A and B are shown apart, each in its own frame.
Chain A
Amino acid sequence: MIPAIGLSLGIIIGLLLQPAVPVWLQPYLPIAVIAALDAVFGAVRAILDGIFDDKVFVVSFLSNVVVAAFIVFLGDKLGVGSQLSTGVVVVLGVRIFSNVAAIRRHLFDA
């Protein structure tokens, strides 16, 4: 409950403040959001499984975002930016789907 409140609080603050992101940082925003989503769904599944650890959650979130941004950056430098980011998005999307499926099984026994 408290983390959910914190999450919505963060979203509201972000939408109210409306900070302008510098242009060189803008390509990394979508991939950072997907990486964060993956960490969040993994945490929810861990909570439902009963083995949640906040340190693991924080580390997984930070490392996800950093690694995803680094891969996008590396891809841009190497010239395969779109392919690498497609790969990252595919993997993160698959993880998100499996975590959501597990959560669904926990919540609805379905």
Chain B
Amino acid sequence: MSAPAPQGRRPDASMTLLTTMLERPLDPGYAAAAARREAQGGTRATSLRSPLLVITSVLIGLLVGIASYNLTTANKPRSQARADLIGQIQDRRSQVDALATKAAALQGQLTAREAAQLGDPTLTTRTRELATAVGAVPLHGPGFTLTMDDAPGAGADEAAAGNGSAQEGQVLAKDLQFVTNALWEAGAEAVSINGKRLTATSAIRFAGSALVVDYRPLTRPYVITALGDPKRFPAKFADGAGGTYLSTLRSSFGIRVDTQVSDDLTVPAAVGLITRYARGGDTGTATPSPGTPSPSAR
């Protein structure tokens, strides 16, 4: 400590903010009013029954009551709305499932009637081959299942998941896309992911933090079932681009990959196949005519 404090100043004068806050909490107005009243010859304190005081205390009570009611029950309508919405989602989802089963059943009936109608065996065989290739009928046969799951511990960060940003160690849509393409390339005859059959127009996408196949979200783990020639198909896939990609995922990101060869696997039929027609445009016109959408890969 250097020079002595000047006369009449407290050593802690620079802390007046804190000291006044801590040492003089009672409103100085009370002391001043009391002194003034004493000077005028009245009592030091006013009566506790003045109407102004009663009104003010009722007001304060109202404020506290209103605030406590509003602040404590503010969450009820929100959580109730949330529960409502969840109930609606589950209802609709079960409706969609029921309709999908119905559609599959009707599809089966359709195929049976088609066969009965056609009569010509070559035409029936041709239809059946096309249906198989397109994915309109369920198939079963030898093949292998590929189970992919996020790295353990990935996705534990709630904040990042809420942002929709992918984290390291999570299976991305492009991983599934690459693996599926590699399966087709290796000679797969039918591929399904978590029970959803892939067709030529299937889309594997990323929506928020969930993987979506044909607008239906997938839950982890992702089970890819691929049917193909038992002797060549698994080996061709493992040796080709697909196998390399999967081992990179495993070693670099810790994504869990499990392969299991099997003699009899089933893939379901694709739901929601619609027929599209393609008609060649006139030569020289660049714009497609409306009503004739050309088939696209997505």
A interface residue numbers (CB < 8 A to B): 1-4, 6-15, 18-21, 26, 29-30, 32-33, 36, 39-40, 42, 45-47, 49-61, 91, 94-95, 98-99, 102
Contacts and interface: CB of A to CB of B under 8 A. Distances in A.
Interface in B16-58: 21-22, 25-27, 29-31, 33-34, 37, 44-46, 48-50, 52-58
B53 A51 contact: no
Instruction: Give the interface size class of chain B.
Output: 35 or more
Interface in B65-79: 65-71, 74
Interface of B: 21-22, 25-27, 29-31, 33-34, 37, 44-46, 48-50, 52-71, 74
A53 to B, nearest CB: 4
A51 B48 CA distance: 11
A14 B66 contact: yes
User: Which of A45, A54, A94 is packed against the most chain B CB atoms within 10 Å?
Assistant: A54
B196 to A, nearest CB: 44
Contacts of B52: 54-55, 58
Contacts of B26: 42, 45-46, 49, 99, 102
A94 B195 CA distance: 63
A99 B57 contact: no
A32 B59 CA distance: 12
Closest 6 CB pairs of A and B: A10-B61, A14-B65, A6-B57, A51-B34, A98-B25, A53-B33
Contacts of A32: 63, 67
Contacts of B56: 6, 54, 57-58, 61
A58 B30 CA distance: 11
A14 B64 contact: yes
B62 A53 contact: no
Contacts of A15: 65, 68-69
A48 B35 CA distance: 16
A38 to B, nearest CB: 9
A59 B66 CA distance: 21
Nearest to A2: B49
Contacts of B66: 14, 19, 21, 29
Contact of A10 (B22, B44, B46, B64): B64
Contacts of A102: 25-26
Given A49-B26, A95-B21, 8 more contacts: A2-B48, A3-B53, A10-B60, A13-B62, A14-B63, A20-B70, A21-B70, A29-B67
Contacts of B60: 7, 10, 36, 39-40, 61
Contact of B64 (A18, A36, A46, A55): A36
